[in-house]
Structure 1
Amino acid sequence: MRHRLHAKIVSLTICFLLMANPASYVHAELSIKEDNLNILQNSLSIVEIDHEIKRTQDKQEELQQKQQRLETELQQHKKEMASHEDRAGSIVRSYYMGERNQFLRILLSSDSFRSLQIVAGYYEMIILGDQETLRAYHKKYSELMAVSTELEQSLTELEQIKQNLIYQRERVMALEEEVEKGLSSSDQRDLMEKLIVELTSYWNNVGVHEVHQYFNALAVAMENLPSYVQKEPGILSINGGTYTISITEAQLNEFLRSENEIFQDFSFEFNDDYIIASGKRDDLELAVYGHYSVIDEPENGILFHVDKLIFNQFELPDTTRTMLEQEFDLGFYPQKLMSFIKATGVSTREQTLEVTMELSLK
């Protein structure tokens, strides 16, 4: 099996070079070695981790700008707070010293209805003014605390991003050393360098777009899955307070193909607690290995995790998997099916995906 897999990689990799130099095809096909396949694998990982570095740098710049804005806002709020604090403090002191009680005593001792009305009117104005001032102080204080908290969170996130940037750069440097070491010891250096260029170009110009198309189509289809579950007989069953969704490979694949023709050559397989989604179209082959887990935040549902992502038999790095998980939501949310239930378990076995749900009191 291992040798057959490598043979597939060889013939597919040669296609990249063939686009640039047809005359090289026979030579390349006869002499690609396993070590050279590792070079190509590492070169593709470098490209994708470089993409992650660029995304991280953009996020870092965005957070730095946000941090500067928050610091400016914080200083402005502190200035505004000073004036509100003085006024609020004056009011609190006046109550503490009994100044407001004097008005109350005058009000109670008024000897005529007319004077009572006048004093009561003044007293009401003072009380309302005090309340407005204290409310304004409380509002400014809340705004100050909110900005301060947001700034602290931003600083923490920025530090994490800086550490991630250092880590990813170290990964790229290590992979570049591996690639250079492999090229230096290879008797096919010129050929390998051409293959690296072609593989990189194919991934950047075709592969990235195609992978995004598949994931986007899956995300859109998953939004419509609750409707399919409701109308398809036998998928949803109820036993007391427990609700169970049991959907087979065949049913899910039929559903996906009805949603988008891109899935005509793409299919899901359910194994014991892991899932394989794979397909081939033209010169592109994609395989996604993953699993589902129950989540409660930000909302209850089952979330799909990408454990391995293979493009034309080359495994893409974790940075690509994470990016796709963040960009495309492949989860299933039972409350879109019925608002009063929540997912409590999920499993895959015997070519069936099973989701267990219970009544939710929230």
Structure 2
Amino acid sequence: MYKYFLFAVLALGLGNTAQAERLKDLASIQGVRTNQLIGYGLVVGLSGSGDQTTQTPFTVQTFNNMLAEFGIRVPAGSGNIQLKNVAAVSVHADLPPFARPGQTIDITVSSIGNAKSLRGGSLLMTPLKGIDGNVYAIAQGNLVVGGFDAGGADGSRITVNVPSAGRIPSGATVERAVPSAFDQGDYLTLNLNRPDFTTAKNITDKLNDLLGPGVAMALDAGSIRVAAPLDPSQRVNYLSVIENLEVEAGKAVAKVIINSRTGTIVIGQDVRVQPAAVTHGSLTVAISEDISVSQPEPFSQGETVVTPRSKVSAEQEKRPMFKFAPGTTLDEIVRAVNQVGAAPSDLMAILEALKQAGALQADLIVI
């Protein structure tokens, strides 16, 4: 039997006043973004936990290609090469904005063959390419693997975490910078992390009050165009000022989130319930079978008779009905449900029924 836990999250505030947040936490600058890089390489130096090359021929092919780069040719008649200490891997990383050649970034290395573990291995020089096919970084270094794998002679094995993947902190050196439009044009565009018309209006009003009328203009619920200096150094100083402005964000849409797998229920602050009466209980039916044996008198002509006797009982759990008044708030909902002793699973059924009845003024989302 699973144990359910109810988490009701209530955002606290003074009246209906939203809490002010920094502009940098509400929006990002259009064009200032990370870029994904990916590469293919070899990890060597493993302790017999590499690819089984009979099942991963691309590992042998890659290894032979690498040897050919150094002028070493493997004899054609050497048969199947077993490279137990080598594994073919994929390497991926995120290239942060404004990264310049010579800077380093973290990389993640994952086995793409059947290697059991990458612990103790070293990644050989691997070019990392972007979506355009250009090489933006070169990766190489010793892996840090958090998991491990161990086995016994009888076939027993234990695995902790994931030994077939690891990371190399500062394992790649940037070789090419990604072009940025940050210092081009007369305007910058702020993209809201959560599009909202109220938030866009508040940001626009805040910028215009500080910098002058017409400096900022909301394009839609998720974008705001802001006039910016042409000189790059002045533009940096300009953004350092406006990104620390505190703006009141608009309230999110009222939502109730239900995780049916864990029994977690999150109710937003602005959830309201229209007038409704709710009762929720359970009916328990118990059926028991007894056997009655009837024996005849001694020396009589009667026969022993076995008679089944069934006993059926029903018990209805007594729970009071509770009523929601118009505009009932989150605090009142939680208090009412706790008074009748409803479990999270019961609350899920109640909330779904209220939504179907049109009494729940919120989006009901089941994940």
TM category (shorter chain) comes to under 0.3
TM superposition score normalised by structure 1: 0.18
More strand, by proportion:
2
Larger CA Rg, structure 1 vs 2 = 2
TM superposition score normalised by structure 2: 0.18
More helix, by proportion:
1
